Amino acid sequence: MATESVQPIRSAKYVRPQQEWKEIIAVYLYLAGMGAGSFIIGILIHWTRIELNPLSIPFIELFGVRLDLAKFPILWGPIMVSIGAPFLILDLGIKWRFMYACLNPRTSWVARGFIILSIFIVFGLLILAKSFLPFKWLHPESGLWLIPEVIAFVFALGTALYTGILLKATKSVPLWNTHLLPLLFLASALSTGSMSIILSTLGTGLLSYNSEGMKVLMAGEQICVVIEGIVLYLFLSRRYRASEQGKESVRLLITGKLRYVFWQGIILLGFIFPVVLEWISKYYQNSALLFIAGLSLLTGGFFLRLGVLHAGIKDQIPMQRLMEIQYDMKRVH
Amino acid sequence: MDQKVLVVDQQKCTGCRQCELVCSVYHTGASNPSRSRVRVVKWEQAGIYLPMTCNHCEKAFCVEVCPTKACHREPEKENRVVIDRNLCIGCRTCIIACPFGQPFFDAQERVTVKCDYCDGDPQCVAFCNVKAISFVDADRAQMAKKKEAANKLADLLKQARG
């Protein structure tokens, strides 16, 4: 960058992105967002009672219990969040102490996140279990099940938003310190979530390629991708103008070290490939292309978290500015 | 108790990093600057050295973001901000939140550590040969600069009177 050769103080420490949260946190943010997003879409399908095909393998027998798989392909989101949550624990210095955070829910967003995710996982898995367990005493047709479903839905929304709030709450990183980040992660959660539901329903035959339900689902997914693109543009343009570090972060993403993550990972895999391939698959009525588009979009969702995480540059400390002034004065004299 | 603070005179610092050494010996028993609670930031090209310690901020971001209250203020001990290593889970949120790049992750203990004023007797102050770091009452921290500014103003007034 041009500033680096002119201002050695700036080049030394100034544009170095944070090194504390790395890939493990990106995986956590991704799985939590995608799992929550897919559950939101899945429960909406469940509520709107879109007509679903009978599965080719409608049930399996486990320990003599007949498990009904009819709703499994649309309600598996909590499993993804359950897989993602341990990644946050894996990143801790002393892993078993994560319990301390659970015991202090009002202290910070990290602690609140433990609670939000835990409630979502418990209620989400409960809804999933109800969908496949055959026990009559569960009264699966009872209207009372709407209560845990609504709770799981609300906490799924909370989980998708929380992945952005966690970064926003750190305050010292201008790239993250914006309300647009939770919105961006929510939009991404919904687009990756709806695409994962498309893949799972198409793969299991729950929805056929030409069914009305699939058309609605694909239209919804495309709207989510467009909204995500608009929010990403607003996010980057606003952060570019927010502060010098915000500008450096955006530069790092677009033209700096992370340009491959941004252009190939986020833009190409996350936006261009899926949109183009979905359009071609519609034209040729080819579901295989839709699978490739889906995998591409899901990969792009991961790169979005990775890029945002790695591009976080901290605010300039006041002393840094003082040093810059002193250096400039030395040069003048 | 009145609040005391560490004041760094960057002009005096020679970048010898003795403060880092004594800090690590005092806190960990090892002469390993990477485990020190004070870090000398160097700009070799510009010939500028700046020992960075915790500012024990009045509105401390590290306290705000700590999920376990391990990072807390102790009003009875110079109003310092400290990390209870028995409560720290090593999430490093405080490191990201601090605008001064302060708490450090101790890779051996797997927790975050920070300056605790060495329980009232900062070793970096005691061992700094050029007295670049001092431990003074908070309300007197800027006294030298204020005196200098007042003297300059007095000179200007004298000149103006002729």
Q: Give the confidence band of B162 by pLDDT, cuts at 50, 70, 90.
A: low
Q: How many domains does chain B have?
A: 2
In a domain, B110, yes or no: no
Mean pLDDT across the stretch A8-20?
A: 64
Q: Give the confidence band of A206 by pLDDT, cuts at 50, 70, 90.
A: confident
In a domain, B62, yes or no: yes
Query: For position B42, which CATH number holds?
Result: 3.30.70.20
Mean pLDDT across the stretch A137-144?
A: 79
C-alpha to C-alpha distance for B51 and B115, rounded to whole angstroms: 12
In a domain, A305, yes or no: yes
Two tokens, residue A260: 């491959």
Quote the percentage of chain A above a pLDDT of 90: 57
Clarify whether residues B46 and B61 are in a common domain: no
Q: What is the ipTM of this complex?
A: 0.82
pLDDT at residue B143, as a whole number: 67
Range of the domain at B64: 57-99
Q: Give the confidence band of A294 by pLDDT, cuts at 50, 70, 90.
A: very high
In a domain, B108, yes or no: no
Residue of A120 and B147 predicted with greater confidence:
A120
Highest mean pLDDT among A12-16, A184-188, B48-52, B119-123: A184-188
In a domain, B104, yes or no: no
pLDDT at residue B151, as a whole number: 79
Clarify whether residues B48 and B62 are in a common domain: no
- Tell me: pLDDT of A8 over 80: no
Three-class SS of residue B159?
helix
Clarify whether residues B43 and B78 are in a common domain: no
Interface of B with A (CB under 8 A): 10, 41, 43, 45-48, 50, 52, 61, 64-70, 87-93, 95-101, 105, 109-112
C-alpha to C-alpha distance for A97 and B29, rounded to whole angstroms: 25
pLDDT at residue A72, as a whole number: 86
Q: How many domains does chain A have?
A: 1
Contacts of B93 in chain A (CB under 8 A): 108, 110, 170
DSSP H helices in A133-204? 146-168, 180-204
Query: For position A254, which CATH number holds?
Result: 1.20.1630.10
Supply the mean pLDDT for chain B: 86
DSSP structure string for A47-104: HHT---PPPSS-EEEETTEEEE-TTHHHH-HHHHHHHHHHHHHHTSSSGGGHHHHHH-
Residue of A257 and A61 predicted with greater confidence:
A257
- Using CB atoms, pick whichever of A103, A110, A330 lies closest to residue B91: A110
- Tell me: pLDDT of A10 over 60: no
C-alpha to C-alpha distance for B98 and B20, rounded to whole angstroms: 20
Q: Per residue in B61-96, pLDDT tens?
A: 899 999 999 999 998 888 889 999 999 999 999 999
Clarify whether residues B90 and B16 are in a common domain: no
Contacts of A111 in chain B (CB under 8 A): 67-68
- Tell me: pLDDT of A1 over 90: no
Nearest to B138 by CA among B114, B119, B117, B123: B117
In a domain, A177, yes or no: yes
* Chain A nearest-CA residue for B91: A92
Nearest to A161 by CA among A133, A132, A187: A187
* Chain A nearest-CA residue for B46: A327
| Alpha carbon of A296: minimum distance to chain B alpha carbons (Å) | 31
Q: Give the confidence band of A2 by pLDDT, cuts at 50, 70, 90.
A: very low
Q: Give the confidence band of A3 by pLDDT, cuts at 50, 70, 90.
A: very low
pLDDT at residue A70, as a whole number: 80
Residue of A320 and A297 predicted with greater confidence:
A297
Mean pLDDT across the stretch A62-72?
A: 79
Clarify whether residues B120 and B40 are in a common domain: yes
pLDDT at residue A245, as a whole number: 87
Range of the domain at A32: 17-312
In a domain, B105, yes or no: no
Are residues A93 and B88, on separate chains, in Cβ contact within 8 Å?
yes
Residue of A83 and B11 predicted with greater confidence:
A83
Are B69 and B27 within 8 A, CB to CB?
A: no
- Tell me: pLDDT of A194 over 70: yes
- Using CB atoms, pick whichever of B67, B105, B110 lies closest to residue A108: B67
In a domain, B134, yes or no: yes
Clarify whether residues B45 and B61 are in a common domain: no
In a domain, B123, yes or no: yes
Mean pLDDT across the stretch B100-113?
A: 90
Contacts of A21 in chain B (CB under 8 A): 92, 96
In a domain, A324, yes or no: no
In a domain, A329, yes or no: no
pLDDT at residue A4, as a whole number: 37
Clarify whether residues B71 and B146 are in a common domain: no
